A and B are shown apart, each in its own frame.
Chain A
């Protein structure tokens, strides 16, 4: 059981905009930055969004992050087939004194 809750799956068609959520609580998302990672099949995860809504260089602006209260969201616009992957949110948890991940959302591009 993950500390952060993500829907197990999401889907969209090419060109569509999809969003996925990450729900937490006061000691984690409510108090700290949220990070998002993309894991393509058979590969290591890759940093997608840092500090709630910042994109590392090289990450397309189709990807955006937001946070409100104890929840965060990742949005992908102009969906492409290569976006099909698992997406994980992560944050620091003050109560656990450690980094915690969501269970991941598997994105399918129909």
Chain B
């Protein structure tokens, strides 16, 4: 069965960076894109971008351009999301969610459990 297991909660100071990992199993990692979605406390879902797990190509939402980096390690079927220049309003739950082979269809069919990132001085 498809599983996405994310790394644990993080507490960061403003201006720092955070990296969240998403370890996958149960499917062919390189056959799909991986999306990242943010959810601020009490708020809705916000798409951050995707990584093509086969090629490593990325597409980021305009809002996060220049601050986000998505990478992957195919040898351990794990995707990573790094967000830099953290601000207090980056406090949120970050989810990885599987996409399809193109990134343009059928997104978010399986989700990780979420990683809480708290930004506080």
The CB with the most chain A CB atoms within 10 A, among B37, B49, B110, B113, is that of B37
What is the 8 Å Cβ interface bit string for chain A, positions 17-50, against chain B (1 contact, 0 not)?
Answer: 0000000000000000101010100001111001
| A74 CB contacts on chain B under 8 angstroms | none
The CB with the most chain B CB atoms within 10 A, among A2, A44, A104, is that of A44
Contact, CB under 8 Å: B44 / A44? no
Contact, CB under 8 Å: A101 / B114? no
A103 at the interface (CB under 8 A from B): yes
B108 at the interface (CB under 8 A from A): yes
Contact, CB under 8 Å: B47 / A51? no
Range, interface on chain A: 20 to 34
- What number of B residues sit within 8 Å (CB to CB) of A? 23
What is the 8 Å Cβ interface bit string for chain B, positions 43-59, against chain A (1 contact, 0 not)?
Answer: 01111010000000001
Q: B45, B47, B97: which contacts A98 (Cβ < 8 A)? A: B47
Contact, CB under 8 Å: A99 / B35? yes
| B114 CB contacts on chain A under 8 angstroms | 44
